[in-house]
Amino acid sequence: MSEFSISAAPGRRTDNASRTDRKKPHRRRGLGKAVSVSLLVIGAVGMIAPFLWMFTTSLRDAGHAYDLPPQWLPTQWQWFNYADAVTGPVPILKNMLNSAVIAIAVSIGMIITAPMAGYAFAKLEFPGKTPIFVGLLSSLMVPAQVTIIPLFLLMRTFGLLDNPLSLILPGITGALGVFLLRQFFLGLPQEIIDAARMDGASAWQTYRLVALPLAKNAVSTLGVITFLGSWNAYFAPSIFLNSTETATLPLGLVLMLGPYGAGNVAQVMAATTIAIAPALIVFLVAQRWIIASLTQSAVKG
């Protein structure tokens, strides 16, 4: 069950750290550390500054949006840009609702289908298991741009263009989630499964009542990653959806920005601040899990 914790490594680090301390001269290391912290601070400022500028600009009236020298702290606390952004010609609230509906539907679908498949690939025996899994995995190599034209034609044939289903249906299954959950279930001791089966539980009951509850963290992580992926998506929505009413939030914001950034910057930044909020919340709540599950596949391979 240590699948999703990378906390084992820091523990080991402190063990060895004290040993290193005794043997190494302090002064040069201290200087090196000061330099590296400074570099890290410069980098971190560079990462955060654009977001800070976005937020403070969203609080200014349009006349001061491009004030130079740039003001990094809010000079005005004018929330009307937010009100104007959501009542402007682009129906940002409707777009946000569209995005939310699609992202929630896709996430729910994914956290139902991927754990089931991941469990089957990890714990059940059936003919063709390995080839099917390899085939699924290789779909990770297929870029969305290659399948987009046939998918567009498919959606068009079934009258699903300009309909959220064109994004929901392809989104509710996916190889990445299956892979992540398979990794988790592989780490689950077989005895737990066997014990449940011996007690007369059906395969479904074993999965639903024994295995799945243990995968709670992995499933939540998958849900969060899927939600964000859908919330942030631009390519497929930009091709399947073509009216402002059905547009998702990223499409709405690009519309609002207008060609060559001609839109009202303060309003655009207000809308962008709203659009970024879910990522910020996810980041604050679930950063640890996401980082752990994203890095484990790369390092443990």
Which one of residues 1, 10, 186, 285 is an interface residue with other proteins (CB under 8 A)? 10
- Return the closest-CA partner of residue 122 out of 190, 186, 30: 186
Classify the C-alpha dihedral 269-273-279-284 as positive or negative.
positive
- Return the closest-CA partner of residue 111 out of 35, 11, 225: 225
Judged by CB, which is closer to other proteins: 94, or 116? 116
Which one of residues 37, 97, 186, 285 is an interface residue with other proteins (CB under 8 A)? 37
- Give min distance, CB of 267 to other proteins, in A: 12
3-state SS record for 186-240: HCCCHHHHHHHHHCCCCHHHHHHHHHHHHCHHHHHHHHHHHHHHHHHCCHHHHHH
Contact 86, 92 (CB under 8 A): yes
Region of 86 please: left (phi>0), alpha (psi -120 to 50) or beta.
Answer: alpha
- Return the closest-CA partner of residue 144 out of 221, 242, 252, 240: 240
Q: Which stretch binds other proteins (CB under 8 A): 73-81, 86-94, 100-108, 246-254?
A: 246-254
Which one of residues 62, 101, 108, 239 is an interface residue with other proteins (CB under 8 A)? 239
Which one of residues 2, 9, 27, 130 is an interface residue with other proteins (CB under 8 A)? 9
Residues 6 or more apart whose Cβ sits within 8 Å of residue 26: none
Site string for other proteins, 282-301 (x = CB under 8 A): xx---x--xx--xxx-xx-x
Interactions with other proteins, residue window 96-135 (CB under 8 A): 112-114, 116-117, 119-121, 124-127, 129, 132, 135
Which one of residues 64, 94, 147, 160 is an interface residue with other proteins (CB under 8 A)? 147
Rounded Cα distance, 214 and 204, in Å: 15
Q: What are phi and psi of 166, to 5 degrees?
A: -65, -20
- Give min distance, CB of 27 to other proteins, in A: 15
Query: Does 6 sit near other proteins (CB under 8 A)?
Result: yes
Half-sphere exposure of 233 (CA within 13 A, CB side): 26
The Cα-based distances of 292 to 6, 9, 47, 180 in angstroms read: 6, 12, 21, 11
- Give min distance, CB of 189 to other proteins, in A: 11
- Give min distance, CB of 59 to other proteins, in A: 15
Which one of residues 44, 83, 186, 285 is an interface residue with other proteins (CB under 8 A)? 44
Rounded Cα distance, 277 and 92, in Å: 14
CA 69, 71, 72, 74: dihedral to nearest 10 degrees?
Answer: 180
Interactions with other proteins, residue window 167-206 (CB under 8 A): 169-170, 172-175, 178, 190-191, 194, 197-200, 203-204
Interactions with other proteins, residue window 247-276 (CB under 8 A): 250, 253-254, 257, 259-261, 265, 268-269, 272, 275-276
Judged by CB, which is closer to other proteins: 150, or 213? 150
Q: Which stretch binds other proteins (CB under 8 A): 36-44, 73-81, 84-92, 100-108?
A: 36-44
Interactions with other proteins, residue window 63-102 (CB under 8 A): 66, 68-70
